[in-house]
Chain A
Amino acid sequence: DGGITQSPKYLFRKEGQNVTLSCEQNLNHDAMYWYRQDPGQGLRLIYYSQIVNDFQKGDIAEGYSVSREKKESFPLTVTSAQKNPTAFYLCASNDRVGYTFGSGTRLTVV
């Protein structure tokens, strides 16, 4: 079945550490996105990529970095510069009709 796989499902980070969240899709979609969701809040766009080797900042890109070396993969790194990283992170891809989301990674700073 086609879809988006995010890993890990739960991630714990110590203060000052960088962590990388994985996102892989087998839908052959060109566009991929990263969103952050906080309790009681809507999803907020971190980064997006419309094509391999190209990506754009979203509304809350500070403290995050991405790469798009392969069409199937769009990993997100949460750097130590992100002051409040505890959140639910969602990856999505798009074929201009409906978006397909992964099941999310819950990141907690300990």
Chain B
Amino acid sequence: SQKIEQNSEALNIQEGKTATLTCNYTNYSPAYLQWYRQDPGRGPVFLLLIRENEKEKRKERLKVTFDTTLKQSLFHITASQPADSATYLCALVLSNSGYALNFGKGTSLLVTP
């Protein structure tokens, strides 16, 4: 069966450190992968997209890697801040389903001062 797995445990880190979140998938051949941020009671907000032929993408303090051999994406937040505290969702986009998103359950990140 198809699965998207993210760290089930919450990630607690100290301000200024780099947070690394993991997304693993099985039995998918995604066209591309996206990362979203979700705050409690709000809709997800798009952060980054990486295509299957790309190894790495950066946006300000964010970096995403995509290894289609390992079937894994890593999401990094450098110089983390308390305002980065949220749930981060990994989503795969399948080209054969209207480009609908298939989501992991998300990883909760808490950045403490």
Binding site for B on A (CB under 8 A): 4, 31, 33, 35, 40-45, 48, 50, 56, 58, 88, 90, 92, 94, 96-104, 106
Contacts and interface: CB of A to CB of B under 8 A. Distances in A.
Contact of A96 (B36, B44, B89, B99): B99
A103 B4 CA distance: 24
- Interface majority SS (helix, strand, loop, mixed), chain A: strand
A43 B89 contact: yes
B49 A97 contact: yes
Contact of A101 (B45, B49, B97, B102): B45
Contacts of B42: 103-104
A40 B105 contact: yes
A103 B100 CA distance: 18
Given A42-B103, A90-B43, 4 more contacts: A40-B105, A48-B100, A92-B43, A99-B44
Interface in B19-45: 34, 36, 41-45
A40 B106 CA distance: 8
A99 B48 CA distance: 10
A50 B98 contact: yes
B30 to A, nearest CB: 14
A45 B101 contact: yes
A6 B51 CA distance: 30
A42 B99 contact: no
Interface in B52-106: 89, 97-106
A48 B100 CA distance: 7
B44 A43 contact: yes
B44 A101 contact: yes
B101 to A, nearest CB: 6
